[in-house]
Each structure stands twice: as C-alpha cells, then as structure tokens.
C-alpha cells in the first residue's frame, strides 16, 4: 500500500529568535505525523536537547529512553514521569561551529487514535569536534487524547535562533 506525505505547515524562526515553534489546529485526517526540524539555539553549549508538548500538556506523563553517541563514546539514559515534555532530538548550541544547524525528525504514529501516544526521534548536531552528538529516542505520552497541537521547545530555557525551521507532515496510507 503506498504511503503519501502532505505538508501541513512549516515555521521558520525570524530575527530575534523564538522560545518555541508551535503547530496548532492539526487535523485528525491522517494516519501519522512527521516533523522535520533544522535548528540552532542560543544555549551556551555545543548542543541543546529538543522536546515537545502535545496539546499544551505539561503533566508528568511523558517518558523516554535515549541512546546517544558523541565523538568520544556512547551511552543511554531514561526518564519517566516527566512534566517538561517528551524528548525528540537535539539542536546545535551557540558554542558549536558557527553557522551549523542540528537536524531532528520525529514520528508520531496513530496520533488521532484513542490510545497512549508513542513517538520516536532521531537527531544529530555538528560541531567539527568531539562534541558532535547523535541521538535515537523512544518516547511515550501517556494520554489517550488525539494530538491537535505540537509545541517544540529547547531544554534549559534556551531559544531557537533565526533560520531554525520546522515542517509538519501528515502521512496517509492510500
């Protein structure tokens, strides 16, 4: 069965930056959702974790398991009962190589269904050094509501800088 992708919306951060990128009024007419993100933050570090909030929910019902690697090694961690949101990837921080952006994509199957929502993320940043980072993340939002809005945020209260871009796609089986 062929799968079709349709761009629902795209947001590019303007001059002055933005605390978050948000998609609202997401229609329930697709099977799955996919977000592609190219981002840099003003966090004084080489990397900044990216997380999401669904439907404005900040209850402690997000959990994740993450595998990550740097230029010097690999590790994993997990987090449960998190109210900060669900982790999905990584962006480049302000001390990383100039003019580079991290890339993350996260996938949400059955986003309009009536079960808890699992989602997965894949992110990488570039630093031309050992501090480059790659992540694979499996997450859960323990809520049965259909996802109608997605807010993308940077961890540690940093902001997205100009030219950071996120695009939301609806996926349908035809």
Every domain of the chain and the residues it spans: 9-173
pLDDT per position as a tens digit, 76-120:
988 888 777 888 999 998 988 888 999 999 999 999 999 999 999
Which residues, 6 or more positions from 98, have their beta carbon under 8 angstroms from its beta carbon?
Answer: none
Label residue 54 by pLDDT band (50, 70, 90): very high
Q: What is the mean pLDDT of the chain?
A: 91
The model's pLDDT over 10-34, given as tens digits with 9 standing for 90+, comes to: 999 999 999 999 999 999 999 999 9
pTM of the model: 0.93
Q: How far is CA 8 from CA 25, 40, 168, 170, in A?
A: 10, 23, 6, 6
Fold of the CATH domain 9-173: Jelly Rolls (2.60.120)
The residue whose two tokens read 């933005």 is 18
Are 106 and 98 contacting, i.e. CB atoms less than 8 angstroms apart?
A: no
């Amino acid at each position: 069965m062929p799968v079709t992708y349709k761009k629902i919306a795209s947001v590019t951060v303007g001059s002055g930056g933005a605390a978050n990128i948000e998609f609202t009024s997401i229609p329930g007419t697709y099977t799955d959702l996919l977000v592609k993100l190219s981002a840099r933050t003003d966090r004084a570090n080489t990397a900044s974790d990216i997380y999401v909030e669904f439907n404005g929910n900040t209850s402690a019902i997000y959990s994740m398991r993450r595998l990550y690697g740097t230029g010097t090694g690999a590790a994993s961690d997990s987090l449960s009962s998190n109210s900060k949101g669900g982790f999905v990837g990584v962006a480049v921080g302000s001390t990383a190589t100039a003019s580079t952006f991290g890339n993350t994509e996260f996938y949400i199957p059955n986003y309009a269904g009536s079960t808890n929502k699992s989602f997965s993320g894949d992110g990488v940043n570039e630093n031309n050094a050992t501090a480059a980072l790659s992540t694979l993340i499996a997450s859960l939002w323990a809520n049965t509501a259909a996802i109608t809005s997605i807010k993308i945020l940077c961890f540690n209260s940093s902001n997205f800088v100009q030219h950071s871009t996120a695009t939301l796609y609806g996926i349908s089986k035809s």
